[in-house]
Structure 1
Amino acid sequence: MKKILKVFKTLFLTCIILAFVVSMSIFVYHKYQLSEESELIKSKETLVEINDRKINVYSEGKGKDTYVFMAGSGIAAPLYEMKGLYSKFSKEHKIAVVERAGYGYSNVSHDKRDIDTILEQTRESLILSGNKPPYILVPHSLSGLEAIYWAQKYPEEVKGIIALDIGLPEEYANYEMSLADSFTIRGMNVLTRIGFHRLFPSATYDPEVVRQSFLTVQEKEVFKAISYKQAFNNDMKQELLQNNKNAKKSVKLPIPVETPILFLSAYTDENKNATYTKQKVENYKQLADQLETAEVKEVKGRHSIYLYAPEEIYNLSVNFINEKVENDERPK
């Protein structure tokens, strides 16, 4: 028995030492790569300073309306990943891409990421970069929570919302994160700080961005470099840990009934009949029924629908704004 225990002890210690050596090797390689990639990602964009933290706001195009693009959770390089969509809008409209703290060229804030802080940083960064309200918000996924909260708190600043497969406040508020979920999120944060994500490129960034042609070869390299740098950092971790509390702040406020919203629900051939997909559309319709101006449209593509149907999204959005918002004669 003593011999068996000794063997197990030796194996255990060997595994611990091996894991430490592997982790340290990956960490050193990750730091080396970050140093090499730093020249690629020197910001040429508009960085504005808010409470000693820099937020990046990229603007292009001209027009009466400013479409504000807001990336979903974990989209490490929004300026590059969403280019295929916002470049269609900027041909005839002004656009702004806000890379909130921890994303793209913006600094990591290391705060708790409560929704009031996130929203005030977004609002202030837009003003400081020369983009004045009202805005047409184009949120994706988790950013839908911020967009709806924005319309609830400052309805005069939100002309409309183009909701790209967003999560609704009530959905996030009803989902209580389990201890296992919390540990998973914190564990992923630790692993990316060490650099393990470099072993799994397709989990670090969406390969579809690289496969498509809306980025130049140089931009694709910058996109990958930013993704490796910002992957699941502290701000992204905190966003997920706080989304339940943030959503509860939103559901306590009145629904923004006067804010026009176009809900675009993503589906694929594989999941179009899934319970989740049908329930998502139903939830959108239930909220739309409570709004004065709203539509629900289904768009074929994966969750990141801006990569799969940019032309359709652009046409649906412009038609909605022109027909349902610009022609709306309701008194404000």
Structure 2
Amino acid sequence: MKLWRKIIVISLLVVLFIPLVIFSYHTYQLYRERELLEEVGNKVSFGKKHLNVYTEGKGEKTFVFMSGSGIAAPIWELRGLYQRFSKDNKIAVVERAGYGYSSIFEDRRDLDQILEQSRKALRKSGIKPPYVLVPHSISGLEAIYWAQKYPNEVQAIIALDIGLPEQYATYKMKKAQRLQIAFMNGLTKLGLQRLFPSATYDPEVIKQHFLTDKEKERFKAISYKQAFNNDIKQELLKTEMNAKKSVSLPPPTETPILFFSAYTKENKVTKKKEADYQRYAKKLRNAKVERVKGKHAIYLYKPSLIYKEAIAFINEDVSKGR
């Protein structure tokens, strides 16, 4: 019995000690990385919190880039795409609450709240509408809702493998999935993301050459700091409810939308997604669906194609007299 007691005590100590070591290491690394975490962009105050907006380029059109869920460092990860646009246009990257250099707001992550924060952040940064919105994945919800509520502010949407409101509204998140999200959020508070870098940020960003070596270090530092925080968790948990807000409104029929549908191989999921895009496109005055072979983060794999097709789509729409 004494032996078993010792084993149990030692086991408990190990279980408690390992998380403490990981948390201490994470805290130490954040201290070491503080210079790498120097903010890039314009801080817009929301009381004691702030949103970060990065801008570059000049031109008549303004492209607003909106990251997908869990992309902890949007300014760095999206650079390979938006730098193509900024050669002849003004661009802005709005980092939502909990992303990049923005504060963690600890709010409800209600869709109206998210949208109004983005609108205020842009205006306070001197970026006035109309905008061409370039959402990826979950931010397609905000982009479409933006066009529904404020059609005069949205010149067009370049949709990068987005989730449609109808898709999110009909997807019932299971209890196990909610627990998994909460569990992942808890692990990142301990700093466990340090042990799994490829699950914390997309390794493709490091492989490619649109960032300098120093910028890659900054990208990794902010990714470790912001990984799956409370705002990102809440944003995911509120997806269905937020989507229903958009579904309750008429589609933005007068907003031109170019849908990029990513696929790596043909299967039921990709076919259904493309069919959903085509169905939604038929509701709009001007819309087009482009199939792109590549992973979900298509901005990393096909930036030149996206730029070329986006500019052609917008110029064509202008020539039609919008």
TM-score range with shorter-chain normalisation?
over 0.9
Paired residues of 1:50 and 1:125 also in contact (CA < 8 A): no
1:266 counterpart = 2:266: no
1:249 maps to what in 2? 245
Paired residue type of 1:329? G
Provide the secondary structure at the position in 2 that maps to 1:215: coil
Mapped partners of 1:298, 1:244: distance in 2:
26
CA 1:20/1:308 → structure 2, altered by over 3 Å: closer, same or farther? same
Aligned mate of 2:126, from 125, 130, 134: 130
Q: Which runs of 5+ in 2 are unaligned?
A: none
| 1:205-243 deviation digits (Å, cap 9, x = unpaired) | 000000000000100000000000000000000000100
Paired residues of 2:41 and 2:52 also in contact (CA < 8 A): yes
Mapped partners of 1:308, 1:42: distance in 2:
28
Provide the secondary structure at the position in 2 that maps to 1:258: coil
Mapped partners of 1:303, 1:92: distance in 2:
27
Provide the secondary structure at the position in 1 that maps to 2:137: coil
- The 5 Å alignment of 1:1-332 reads 11-268=7-264, 272-323=265-316, 325-329=317-321
Provide the secondary structure at the position in 1 that maps to 2:104: coil
Mapped partners of 1:18, 1:194: distance in 2:
16
Shift of 1:15: 2.9
Provide the secondary structure at the position in 2 that maps to 1:282: helix
Greater shift, 69-78 or 33-42, is seen at 33-42
Paired residues of 1:152 and 1:255 also in contact (CA < 8 A): yes
Mapped partners of 2:144, 2:101: distance in 1:
25
Mapped partners of 2:282, 2:4: distance in 1:
64
Mapped partners of 1:254, 1:289: distance in 2:
13
Provide the secondary structure at the position in 2 that maps to 1:119: helix
Shift of 1:44: 3.6
Q: Which runs of 5+ in 1 are unaligned?
A: none
User: For the aligned residues, what is the CA RMSD?
Assistant: 1.2
Paired residue type of 1:224? K
| 1:112-134 deviation digits (Å, cap 9, x = unpaired) | 11111110000000000010001
Paired residue type of 2:262? A
Provide the secondary structure at the position in 1 that maps to 2:91: strand
Shift of 1:7: 6.7
Mapped partners of 2:24, 2:277: distance in 1:
47
Paired residue type of 1:250? S
Mapped partners of 1:35, 1:212: distance in 2:
27
Shift of 1:274: 1.0
Provide the secondary structure at the position in 2 that maps to 1:38: coil
Shift of 1:8: 6.4
The number of aligned residues is 322
TM-score when normalising by structure 1: 0.95
Shift of 1:12: 4.6
